[in-house]
Amino acid sequence: MPRVDVPVTEIVRAGVAPPAETNADVANGHHISNDGRVVLLARNSDAGGAHNVTIQTPGTIDGLAVADRVVSLPLSSSKYIGPFPTGVYNQQGVAADADRIYVDVDHATLRLTALRLPL
């Protein structure tokens, strides 16, 4: 199956209601439209343990692979992650997803929300 889209909510100066969370899809992963101003809110709803969110880094520098960014969320916690520079995190080698980041999760109790910061 294809990756699950996490919708991006624009933050505006007048305010915006908190968007709905996207449930984690361990098997397929997620993708998020990214213009360099996107921040990911990851929430671990599991009261039993820590879990990881991985943001893929598809590029290389001087022929060396850039390590993926792995963020650990302690039990029952949330973290804001990002923003994500497009040249490092966007899937440049995948034409259909060239403007997207790939996010993988290790447990179904994770919840994701994507927010775009204003200029």
pTM: 0.93
Band of residue 109 on the pLDDT scale cut at 50, 70, 90: very high
Question: Each residue of 9-63: pLDDT tens digit?
Answer: 999 999 999 999 999 999 999 999 999 999 999 999 998 999 999 999 998 889 9
Continuous segment of H or E residues that includes residue 107: none
Question: How sure is the predictor about 1, in pLDDT bands with cuts at 50, 70 and 90?
Answer: confident
Handedness of CA 23, 25, 26, 30 (dihedral sign): negative
Residue range 76-86: average pLDDT? 97
The residues, ordered by sequence, that sit 6+ positions from 95 with a Cβ below 8 Å of its Cβ are none
- Using the 8-state DSSP alphabet, how is residue 96 labeled? G
